[in-house]
Amino acid sequence: MKGPQLHPVSIKDLIPCGRGIAVFLEAAKKTFVIQVDVNIGLNISMCFMNKKTDRPLTHELMKNIFVGFGIEMTNAIIVDMHDDTFTAQLNLHQSNELGSKIVEVDARPSDCILLALLLNKPIFILNCLLERLDDVTELYNEIKKKKNNEFPPL
């Protein structure tokens, strides 16, 4: 039996916006955006740029717990959207002397993105969801052009 079709997701850009941070993502040559809280957006940005903090933040703590208990994040999947709110699934695998266990955890896409960056794991989106989303590539290009015109390179 064949499972649902998945597309790899990559982070295209993070741009501050009125309600927080717009995370522009790309899958199958389509750009879509997820709005995140300012704090998680800054954490994603820091992780994306490989910047470290003096003390572990919440997601770094989760990473350390995973390592301590022998849990591996296998991937994250953006699975649905209702009322402009995306939902995601964090897929975990644990193997120890008691056996092997796979767990699918309901999660916010922003948390999944951050953990995937921290743990160097892939992010996917379900094809059936991607097909429902508008391609915002033109909007993204307009925002980037406006931003570059406001702040020319030094």
Could you give all domains of the chain from N- to C-terminal order, each with its CATH number? 6-150 (3.10.690.10)
pTM: 0.88
| DSSP β-bridge partners for residue 65 | none
Name the token pair of 38. 């300012």
pLDDT at residue 149, rounded to an integer: 65
Q: In sequence order, what are the residues at sequence separation of 6 or more whose Cβ sits closer than 8 angstroms to the Cβ of residue 75?
A: 91, 116, 121, 122, 123, 124
CB 103, CB 75: distance < 8 Å: no
- With a cut of 70, list the residues of the chain below it in pLDDT: 1-2, 149-154
Give the CA distances from residue 106 to residues 50, 86, 103, in Å, rounded to whole numbers and listed in that order.
26, 11, 10
